[in-house]
Amino acid sequence: MLNQLFWIVPICSVIALLFAWFFFKGMMKESEGNETMKRIAGHVRKGAMAYLRQQYKIVGLVFLVLCLFFAWMAYGPGLQNGWVWFAFLTGGFFSGLAGFIGMKTATYASARTANAASRSMNDGLKVAFRSGAVMGLVVVGLALLDISLWWLVLDCFVEEASATHKAVMITTTMLTFGMGASTQALFARVGGGVFTSCRRRRRCSLRRSTAGRCRRRCRSRRPGSSGHSPGSRPAGRPAGWPADTSSR
């Protein structure tokens, strides 16, 4: 009975992924609006993909170090089983894949939601909710699918003397999968905040420097302005020289 109920999990995961694909295709059929909306949406997608590329480079190095550490623990002192490092890697991979799909969906849906909302509130909410459901369905679907596959693989290939020891190994490996997925999600949350903060500070500094240049340009173009106030001594003029009265 328990073996028959187990197959509900992978079936539900496949159904969730199919619904996510269906909602994504339906969202992509919507129009992005006029040329201005398309151009802005393109810039948003470009910035989002630049952030993901930079984040995945750093996360890849961190996962490489952690996987080597877990492999050393498994094959060196023997503190872990040999499946732990690979389960950690697959957890991070599926979590990163879910984040990539969610980012692509969000950046494609933003302009389409705004354009649909210009027609009616119902159309805008329909596109928004279905696009947001893609991320949730992908996360749940990939998590259940990976856990189901790990259970099948470990149940077939792990051979231990007792059923209790076998259950402990399977549970430890599946928990390591969850730890890999959580590590990737942590980097995504913290990295997104850092990336957004850096871009905001850069925009503020650019605005301040642009405003400073505009003020200096306006002062230099002011009529009767010679770059220094009347009666003052310009730089390089020796002391005792008469004041410049040409601009009076």
Tokens at 11, concatenated: 């079936």
**Calpha distance 174→99 (Å, rounded):** 20
**Calpha distance 248→225 (Å, rounded):** 10
Cβ atoms of residues 133 and 21 within 8 Å: no
Q: How confident is the model at residue 204 (pLDDT cuts 50, 70, 90)?
A: low
pLDDT tens, residue by residue, 157-173: 777 656 777 777 788 88
Q: What is the pTM of this model?
A: 0.69
CB atoms within 10 A of CB 204: 10
Mean per-residue pLDDT of the chain? 78
Given a cut of 80, whether residue 132 has pLDDT beyond it is: yes
**pLDDT value at residue 227:** 47
Q: Which one of 89-93, 211-215, 238-242 scores highest in mean pLDDT?
A: 89-93
Q: Which residue has the tokens 């020891």?
A: 165
Given a cut of 90, whether residue 238 has pLDDT beyond it is: no
Q: How much of the chain is in helix, strand and coil states, percent to nearest 5?
A: 80, 0, 20
**Calpha distance 234→187 (Å, rounded):** 56
Q: Which of 25, 17, 44, 46 is nearest to 127 (CA)?
A: 25
Cβ atoms of residues 90 and 67 within 8 Å: no
Q: How confident is the model at residue 52 (pLDDT cuts 50, 70, 90)?
A: confident
**pLDDT value at residue 212:** 57
Instruction: Choose the weakest-confidence range: 129-143, 174-188, 193-207.
Output: 193-207
Give the rounded percent of residues in the chain with a pLDDT score beyond 90. 14
Q: What DSSP letter does each residue of the chain carry, written as one string? A: -HHHHHTHHHHHHHHHHHHHHHHHHHHHTS---SHHHHHHHHHHHHHHHHHHHHHHHHHHHHHHHHHHHHHHHHHTT--S-TTHHHHHHHHHHHHHHHHHHHHHHHHHHHHHHHHHHHH-HHHHHHHHHHHHHHHHHHHHHHHHHHHHHHHHHHHHH---SSHHHHHHHHHHHHHHHHHHHHHHHHHHHHHHHHHHHHHHHHHHHHHHHHHHHHHHHHHHHSTT--SS-TTPPPTTPPTTPPPP-TT-
**pLDDT value at residue 205:** 56
